Amino acid sequence: MSQENWYGLKVGIEIHQQLDTEEKLFCRCPTESSEDARLEIKRYLRLKRSEMGEEDRAAKEEVERKKKFLYKYYDSTCLVEADEEPPTEINREALRIAIQVAKMLKMTILDEIHVMRKIVIDGSNTTGFQRTALVALDGEIEVKGEKIGIATLCLEEEACRKVEEGEGVTVYSLDRLGIPLIEIGTKADIKTPEIAKETAKKIGMILRSTRKVKRGIGTIRQDVNISIKGGARVEIKGVQELDLIDKVVEYEVLRQLNLLKIREELQKRNAQVLEKIFDVTEIFTNTKSKILRGKTVKAILLKNFAGIVGTEIQPGRRLGSEFADIARAFGLGGIFHTDELPAYGITSEEVEMLKKAVGANESDAVVIAAGDPHRAERALRRIIERAKYCSIGVPEETRKANEDGTTSYLRPLPGSARMYPETDVPPVLSYEFLDVEIPELIEERAKRYAKLLPEDLAFEIADSKHYRLFEEFSSSIQPTIVARVLHVIPTELRRENLNVDSLKEEHFRMVLEMIRNGEIAKEGADNALRILIEKPFASKKELKELIGSKKDLDSFIQKLIEEKRDLIAEKGESAFKPLMGLVMSEFRGKVDGKIIAEKLRDAILRKVKELRPQNS
């Protein structure tokens, strides 16, 4: 679809990338994740008025949810994360990386870098604010021939990791709090879903070119700001999959268009939302619905809304889903509405009684919520507000990305007066970093490698942590073989769920050297890497021997399994013991018993599966 067809779409992307520094941003703790918490700290959210004297609407809603926060504390965290001690100076290593990225994005770097406090209201920071420093402004990148402006680059502290969310309580882990994070915000120059995705990809590539960013799930997150003509600005949080960005944008356009259609229909019908909240607990005293039974049930009446609450606004999501999101944000399980009833154990008699109790007729809709009476009351109060807004248009809000590309309501869009100076941390003058140089971009490196490798593989190798080994060995070993060792084989081993991340630079170097020196055949590389995953401290000599015996072992086991198939058919997995004896008598002292046991067990399990009748 061309630019004009996207309904005046404007998209800005915010990218958050964790940095792979030794220490955190404002304390000297490591940036690795931890296990085994030492203790838990309990906090409530208190609402502070901003210096302007106004209450933030998002903060107000969070307080109304009356949530309690628990924080997991580790040996690898300190009193700074717990907000019991002031922060240290800003981490210079992190600032250096931030300035390097700013230069790559052709931005103007600020002379003085000041740390500010940005109010955070979801408990994800023990202090109630996030420390953030604006480093650079106003840059530009080119994406598929379009110029996309870069508005800001900030260096900030990562929030806590959310471990658990229950009714009225959220549990956070302090290990992630304070990891340095670069936040890059583009201008709202993006006009199609595809360019949105490509922009995020390009910025990700630029960040990885520094070789100083963390990798893996959760280490990079994209927030997407979206609006269309006649709609509203919506911020979608936490898109983790790059390949989902275009879909998220498309679905949000669809949602806003459908909300505008709903507005038109409601205006035509002269729809009204009643302020009153009805207590309808009595109707459901003996209900078959497990969700309602034994709970307080409250209801609201939406006049002339019949059919509207059940209208689909995104694939698999209805207007009612938006109301349910609000209920969940207030700690309830969700809502029911008459467009979807009778169902879920609620009978048509109960629906009739419900309608009668609130004075609803055929053209109306009724929404019910069950649970703690105060929570239900507060949630329905908010749903009344939301339902009223259906006749006005699309509300500005913060939403969260779901795995299928749809989104759910999270909270109102926060107000803008949310920053104030952090007086505990002194500012830094950026001329300290005049010597920072721009590294080679991964895509530039990929172009060089494409002379030696297929294009896709060239990019993978250029993007790899071990690209330097490729440069070192591709003159003495065939480049495709080097690429196989560094990327193709590890990818295959990863699919077998082997711990490929335990392979370090020295392991790849060892295998490449042995291939170069003719100590192992290039076909042996696969086995060599498998062995190094199991035995990371193996020497070249041991590795050579193991490759030899491993091959013998595999074929010995295979032959044995075939010979003893009747035994396996009869005894199943308990054929392991007698067969293990046979293998051990042959390989004792040559191969680690643990490896033999694993291989034999796998082979028996495969055989058992194979012998099992298909239709059972």
**Contacting residues toward Zn ion, per CB under 5 A:** 27, 29, 78, 80-81
Least distance from Zn ion to the Cβ atom of residue 131, Å: 13
Helix (H) or strand (E) holding 139: strand 129-143
Q: Closer to Zn ion at the Cβ: 81 or 252?
A: 81
Cα–Cα dist 610/70, whole Å:
49
Q: Looking at beta carbons only, is 178 or 490 nearer to Zn ion?
A: 178
Tell me what percent of the chain is helix, strand and coil, each rounded to the nearest 5: 40, 20, 35
- Cα angle, residue 123 at apex, residues 44 and 92 outer, rounded to 5°: 130
Compare residues 86 and 166 and give the one whose CB is closer to Zn ion. Answer: 86
How far is residue 237's CA from residue 221's CA, in Å, rounded to a whole number? 8
Nearest distance from C-beta of residue 28 to Zn ion, angstroms: 7
CB of 180 to Zn ion, least distance (A): 13
If one counts every other C-beta atom within 10 angstroms of the C-beta of residue 545, the result is: 15
Of 80 and 401, nearer to Zn ion (C-beta) is 80
Bridge partners (DSSP) listed for residue 146: 143
DSSP state of 566: H
User: Looking at beta carbons only, is 31 or 287 nearer to Zn ion?
Assistant: 31
Which of 75/566 has CB closer to Zn ion?
75
Task: Name which of 59 and 78 has its Cβ closer to Zn ion.
Answer: 78
Could you identify the residue written with the tokens 């604006």? Answer: 134
> Hey, is 461 helix, strand or coil?
helix
* Between 74 and 409, CB nearer to Zn ion: 74
Q: CA-to-CA distance for 567 and 307, rounded, in angstroms?
A: 64
Minimum distance of Zn ion from residue 171's CB (angstroms)? 19
Closer to Zn ion by CB, 78 or 150: give it: 78
Smallest distance from the beta carbon of 73 to Zn ion, in angstroms? Answer: 10
Contact between 210 and 180 under an 8 Å Cβ cutoff? The reply is no
Shortest gap between Cβ of 155 and Zn ion (angstroms)?
A: 17
Question: By C-alpha distance, which of 178, 53, 223, 45 is closest to 121?
Answer: 45
CB of 546 to Zn ion, least distance (A): 42
Q: What are the C-alpha distances in Å from 18 to residues 94, 138, 230? A: 10, 22, 36
State the Cα–Cα distance between residues 376 and 334, nearest whole angstrom.
Answer: 10
3-state secondary structure of 229: coil
List Cα–Cα distances, 81 to 24, 87, 128, 165, in angstroms.
Answer: 10, 9, 12, 20
Compute the distance between CA of residue 509 and CA of residue 213 in angstroms, rounded to an integer. Answer: 23
The 3-state DSSP class for residue 359 equals coil
What is the closest distance, in whole angstroms, from the C-beta atom of residue 21 to Zn ion in the complex? 13
Beta bridge partners of 368: 299, 336
Minimum CB separation of residue 116 from Zn ion in Å reads 20
- Residue 565 β-bridge partners: none
Closest approach of Zn ion to the CB of residue 81, in Å? 5
- Which residue lies nearer to Zn ion by CB, 86 or 359? 86
